[in-house]
Structure 1
Amino acid sequence: MDIAFLSMALNQGHIQQQVSISVMKKAIGNTEQQGEALQKLMSTADAAAIQQAAQPHLGGKIDLKL
């Protein structure tokens, strides 16, 4: 076996692993930011408005009988 070739192959594998870890950390950071934004949106949203958006056909008319 060629020692230089083996050394280059191992180094290349190590670099690929470092790149993969870096990309994964970036993806995790983006996911955390999206989660925080969603939590902020949910905390400021009006519950009645959310229910109306989910079921717009409810509560539009009132039936009264006297």
Structure 2
Amino acid sequence: MDIAAISSMLSQSNVQQQAGISVLKMAMGVAASNGNSLVSMLSEATKSMELSVQPNLGANIDIQA
């Protein structure tokens, strides 16, 4: 093999590797976003469940002296 062919193959390999890394970074960003959305949905569901069990708890404060 000549040096030009080896250089071309190495360059192509580097480009493929960089493209793969970019795709993985995008996938990680999507997964992080989905995780954050899931956490917020779970916290909202927990709050609504607590209110449905005891809806009047904490609604009134008696401050007589």
TM-score, normalising length from structure 2? 0.69
Letter of the 1:44 counterpart = E
Residue equivalent to 1:21 = 21
**In structure 1, what is the Cα distance between the partners aligned to 2:6 and 2:35?**
44
- 1:31-60, Cα deviation, whole Å (9 max, x unpaired): 000000000010011236xxxxxxxxxxxx
Counting matched residue pairs gives 48
The unaligned stretches of length 5 or more in structure 2 are 51-65
1:8 paired with 2:15, answer no
**In structure 1, what is the Cα distance between the partners aligned to 2:14 and 2:27?**
20
- Structure 1 consecutive aligned stretches of length 4 or more whose deviation exceeds 4 Å: none
RMSD: 1.1
Letter of the 1:23 counterpart = V
1:47 paired with 2:49, answer yes
Superposed displacement of residue 5, structure 1: 0.7
Letter of the 1:27 counterpart = A
Superposed displacement of residue 2, structure 1: 1.1
The unaligned stretches of length 5 or more in structure 1 are 49-66
Letter of the 2:49 counterpart = A
TM-score, normalising length from structure 1? 0.68
